[in-house]
Amino acid sequence: MFLHKRTTVSTADCSAETGRLKKELEAAGAVVIGAGAGLSASAGFTYSGERFEKYFADFIEKYGFRDMYSGGFYPFETPEEHWAYWSRYVFINRYADADNGTYKRLFELVKDKDYFVLTTNVDHQFQKAGFDKHRLFYMQGDYGLFQCSRPCHNKTYDNETVIRTMLERQADMKIPAELIPRCPVCGKPMTMNLRADDAFVQDEGWYRASERYEAFIRRHKGQRILFLELGVGMNTPVIIKYPFWQMTADNANAVYACINLEAAYCPREIQRQAICVGGDIKTVLERIYDSLLSDREANF
Which CATH number characterizes residue 274's domain?
3.40.50.1220
Cα 164 to Cα 96: distance, rounded to the nearest angstrom? 11
Q: Helix, strand, or coil here: 91?
A: helix
11 and 125 together in one domain? yes
Cα 132 to Cα 120: distance, rounded to the nearest angstrom? 17
81 and 111 together in one domain? no
288 and 180 together in one domain? no
Q: Which residues contact 285 (CB under 8 A, 6 or more apart)?
A: 102, 105, 106, 109, 259
Domain range enclosing 14: 7-42+98-140+203-298
Q: What is the pLDDT of residue 12?
A: 52
Cα 181 to Cα 83: distance, rounded to the nearest angstrom? 9
Residue 260 lies in a domain: yes
135 and 209 together in one domain? yes
Cα 181 to Cα 240: distance, rounded to the nearest angstrom? 33
Residue 226 lies in a domain: yes
Give the residue among 148, 122, 151, 147 at the shortest CA–CA distance from 137: 122
Residue 270 lies in a domain: yes
115 and 250 together in one domain? yes
210 and 64 together in one domain? no
159 and 126 together in one domain? no
Residue 59 lies in a domain: yes
Q: What is the pLDDT of residue 296?
A: 74
Reported as a single tens digit per residue, the pLDDT across 205-232 is: 999 999 999 999 999 999 999 999 999 9
Residue 211 lies in a domain: yes
Domain end point (choices 162, 194, 226) = 194
Classify burial at 35, counting beta carbons within 10 Å of its beta carbon; exposed 0-12, middle 13-18, buried 19 or more.
buried
Residue 1 lies in a domain: no
84 and 213 together in one domain? no
Residue 2 lies in a domain: no
Domain end point (choices 194, 213, 235) = 194
Give the residue among 128, 125, 140, 113 at the shortest CA–CA distance from 210: 140
Q: What is the pLDDT of residue 3?
A: 47
What average pLDDT values come out for the chain (300 residues) when binned by 10 residues? 54 78 94 97 95 97 96 96 98 91 97 97 96 98 98 98 98 98 98 96 98 98 97 93 98 97 93 96 96 78
149 and 15 together in one domain? no
19 and 129 together in one domain? yes
Residue 221 lies in a domain: yes
166 and 232 together in one domain? no
31 and 173 together in one domain? no
What is the total count of domains within the chain? Answer: 2
